[in-house]
């Protein structure tokens, strides 16, 4: 395929590189003038999109997505697919999809899970929203860039799945960190705590696969001084998206709201910026009961 790729940052660059390795012709654009081996440089987003079978975007937020979409949609060929892999608000995803479809294009919102490592290794999971035809056109590319793609439903469903998943993740990480901090103060050995919880009803991904306690469980960012695998800043972004969606849908999400507030304090008023989202554990270690 001829592919336009817009947004060649930490995630987009390795994703585009994997498409080139698989034999696709990729033309890329990024405002930072990034160079990726095998990816032809375009002077603008519209130029990258011109004549492409599929245009993939990987952008920071919904406002930027809307701006880029307004530029690329008129440049795209009827029947081409606009595949947005950014994590943005559901309303922006649906608005962009509506504009694309009105222009005779296929639209897919397909945020990813797996982080920078998954982007480089081609092991991302894609959560896709859009028509069956749009998903079918994008699926071969998902197979190159990732290991799994789930068609979640109509436009916006991919973003909804990502936001709901990461709300659970943020809430669960806080609970896991709180439990370790409590175990410490009760004199319970962390390894014993892990041995019990990881095989009991407290089992969770944040405990078993991404344990926030250094030296306990499989290797995780906790064993690398909390250098980010998934940054607390990004968790805060996703939690804010979850609460924006909850407000729009009139959904009661008190735990999600509290998780957002805690990560906002951690990132914006404490030392969480630039650290892994599991660095909540040393935060709780240092605190007493208010």
Residue 290 has pLDDT above 80, yes or no: no
Residue 115: per-residue pLDDT: 85
pLDDT tens for 34-90 read: 899 999 999 999 999 999 999 999 999 999 999 999 999 999 999 999 999 999 999
* Catalytic hit among 162, 192, 269, 286: 162
Mean pLDDT (whole number) for 258-267 = 98
Residue 224 has a CB neighbour count (10 Å cut-off) of 12
Q: How many Cα neighbours within 13 Å face the side chain of 163?
A: 27
Q: Identify whether 162 is a catalytic site residue.
A: yes
Q: How far apart are CA 127 and CA 108, in angstroms?
A: 10
Read off the pLDDT of residues 5-17 as tens digits, 9 standing for 90 and up: 999 999 999 999 9
Q: How does the average pLDDT of the chain come out, rounded? A: 96
- The pLDDT score that the predictor gives to residue 289 is 84
Binning pLDDT at 50, 70 and 90, where does residue 256 land? very high
Q: Quick one: tokens of 248?
A: 């729009």
């Amino acid at each position: 395929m001829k592919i336009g790729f817009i947004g060649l940052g930490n995630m987009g660059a390795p994703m585009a590189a994997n498409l080139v390795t698989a034999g696709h012709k990729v033309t890329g654009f990024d405002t930072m003038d990034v160079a990726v081996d095998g990816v032809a440089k375009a002077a603008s987003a519209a130029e990258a999109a011109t004549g492409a079978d599929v245009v993939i975007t990987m952008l920071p937020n919904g406002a930027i997505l809307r701006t880029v979409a307004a530029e690329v949609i008129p440049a795209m060929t009827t029947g081409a697919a606009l595949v947005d892999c950014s994590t943005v608000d559901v309303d922006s995803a649906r608005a962009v999809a509506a504009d694309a479809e009105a222009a005779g294009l296929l639209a897919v919102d397909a945020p990813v899970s797996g982080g920078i490592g998954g982007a480089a290794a081609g092991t991302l999971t894609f959560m896709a929203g859009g028509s069956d035809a749009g998903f079918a056109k994008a699926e071969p590319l998902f197979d190159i860039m990732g290991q799994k793609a789930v068609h979640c439903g109509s436009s916006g469903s991919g973003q909804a799945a990502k936001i709901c998943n990461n709300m659970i993740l943020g809430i669960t990480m806080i609970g896991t960190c709180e439990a370790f901090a409590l175990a410490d103060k009760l004199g319970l050995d962390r390894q014993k705590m892990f041995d019990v919880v990881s095989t009991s009803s407290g089992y969770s991904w944040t405990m078993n696969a991404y344990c926030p306690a250094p030296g306990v469980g499989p290797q995780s960012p906790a064993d690398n001084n909390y250098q980010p695998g998934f940054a607390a800043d990004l968790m805060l972004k996703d939690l804010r998206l979850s609460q924006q969606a909850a407000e729009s849908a009139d959904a009661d999400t008190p735990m999600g709201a509290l998780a957002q507030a805690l990560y906002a304090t951690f990132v914006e008023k404490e030392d969480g910026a630039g650290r892994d989202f599991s660095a909540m554990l040393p935060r709780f270690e240092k605190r007493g009961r208010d």
